[in-house]
Amino acid sequence: HIHCLIAAKKVAQATKSDYIHFEIEEADSAFYLTTMEPEKIAITDAKVAEYINTAKDCGYTITFLKSEKAPMCGGKFPLGIFVVEKQQFESGVKFEDMMEKSDIHLVATPAFLEERSDEVQKLYQDLIDETMATRNTVVKVFDAPANLVQKSGAQVLQFAAFDVDRTGRAYISEINECFRSHNVEPKRFYVDSFANGIVTYTCFFDPTFQGEALEKLAQTLRYVSHFKHNPRKSGLVWELVLNNKITPEHAIFLITAAKFIFSFFPKETEEYLALADYFKSDPSKKSELDTLFRDTMANAITYERIYDALTSTMSYSTY
């Protein structure tokens, strides 16, 4: 990894660029390194998410670390490192039998239990218990235990959500977008999956991030599992949230409104009904009319147009 970093820095110097990146992907682990320019780190986020999607029959852990300074002299952006490891659960574990289990000694991988102290396991156990009790996304912000951080006053944000279908959904891109849009980025974070379908984030923030900034971030994260990145559809709503033009609650309303409009928008106009009545005794003409009507409405009432209208209205109303 050190040799790869040196080589990447040499390439950046030769091309007169601050951008450094490389990735190593193997069957059971992956390593990603990149300078944290917003556009560039998003590419790495997507690669990590794609790799995690292959972890359907096992657990996984993601460790993220951010450097204190830029790697290049005069550089603007620090380095970000993602280390991803696939981990096996106890042999014989059946995921369908774990869905109602909350005991961390049953739902965690042996590697997790071996690597984490009893104190850290207690933090995870409390988070899992709360998630199982509410059956919903849980976000908690609290003072970091002194023995887990170097700086007094550091904060911890924990996030937990369900990946019930075990699709490897870690929300890595969505959560990192939230960090960047709120301008609140953790020094390090850890992502862990459990056999009951829960995925957790444990994020450590420097003391400079306190109070309102973290609370706003937590409020957005509570809705992360409800968002999709469908281009020209719900992705437009998510962009408004990330740009702080609407709240996550507003976004859920808009997505629901789009589904309602698409489902219940009046599709049978007076003109169509009149023509349908006129051709009711001629099945072939009626069939041609219906085909023409369906094609016309399919182009007129689409999710893309609905989302575009809703988000354009919201964008204008914020100015």
Res. 315: pLDDT tops 60: no
Whether 131 maps to a domain, the answer reads: yes
Distance CA 33, CA 312 (A): 37
Within this chain, do residues 191 and 125 fall inside the same structural domain, yes or no?
Answer: yes
Higher pLDDT: 218 or 169? It is 218
Burial class (CB in 10 A: 0-12, 13-18, 19+), 303: middle
Beta carbons of 170 and 62 less than 8 angstroms apart: yes
Whether 263 maps to a domain, the answer reads: yes
Beta carbons of 205 and 155 less than 8 angstroms apart: yes
- How much is the pTM? 0.76
* Phi, psi dihedral angles at 36 (to 5 degrees): -95, 50
Distance CA 61, CA 45 (A): 15
Distance CA 12, CA 256 (A): 46
Angle of CA points 249, 42, 144, to nearest 5°: 65
Angle of CA points 23, 156, 253, to nearest 5°: 85
Range(s) of the domain holding residue 7: 1-226
Within this chain, do residues 74 and 29 fall inside the same structural domain, yes or no?
Answer: yes
Within this chain, do residues 80 and 175 fall inside the same structural domain, yes or no?
Answer: yes
Q: How many domains are contained in the chain?
A: 2
Whether 247 maps to a domain, the answer reads: no
Compute the Cα dihedral for 188, 207, 36, 240 and give only its sign.
positive
Within this chain, do residues 264 and 206 fall inside the same structural domain, yes or no?
Answer: no
Task: Please name the amino acid found at residue 35.
Answer: T
For the segment 121-147, the average pLDDT, to the nearest whole number, is: 91
Reference 191, options 316, 51, 25, 41; nearest CA is 51
Within this chain, do residues 192 and 290 fall inside the same structural domain, yes or no?
Answer: no
Whether 155 maps to a domain, the answer reads: yes
Compute the Cα dihedral for 117, 122, 123, 125 and give only its sign.
positive
What are the structure tokens assigned to 225, written together? 């599992």
| Kind and range of the H or E run holding 301 | none
End-to-end CA distance of the chain: 48
pLDDT tens digits, residue range 262-294? Answer: 777 766 667 777 887 888 888 888 888 778 777
Higher pLDDT: 244 or 233? It is 233
The helix/strand/coil state of 281 is coil
Whether 49 maps to a domain, the answer reads: yes
Whether 107 maps to a domain, the answer reads: yes
Examine the fold and report which residue of 178, 211, 226 is the final residue of a domain before the chain moves on: 226
Within this chain, do residues 10 and 127 fall inside the same structural domain, yes or no?
Answer: yes
Whether 48 maps to a domain, the answer reads: yes
Within this chain, do residues 177 and 312 fall inside the same structural domain, yes or no?
Answer: no
Res. 231: pLDDT tops 70: no
Residue 316's pLDDT is what? 46
| Length in residues, the chain | 319
| DSSP symbol at 226 | G
Within this chain, do residues 214 and 305 fall inside the same structural domain, yes or no?
Answer: no
Whether 231 maps to a domain, the answer reads: no
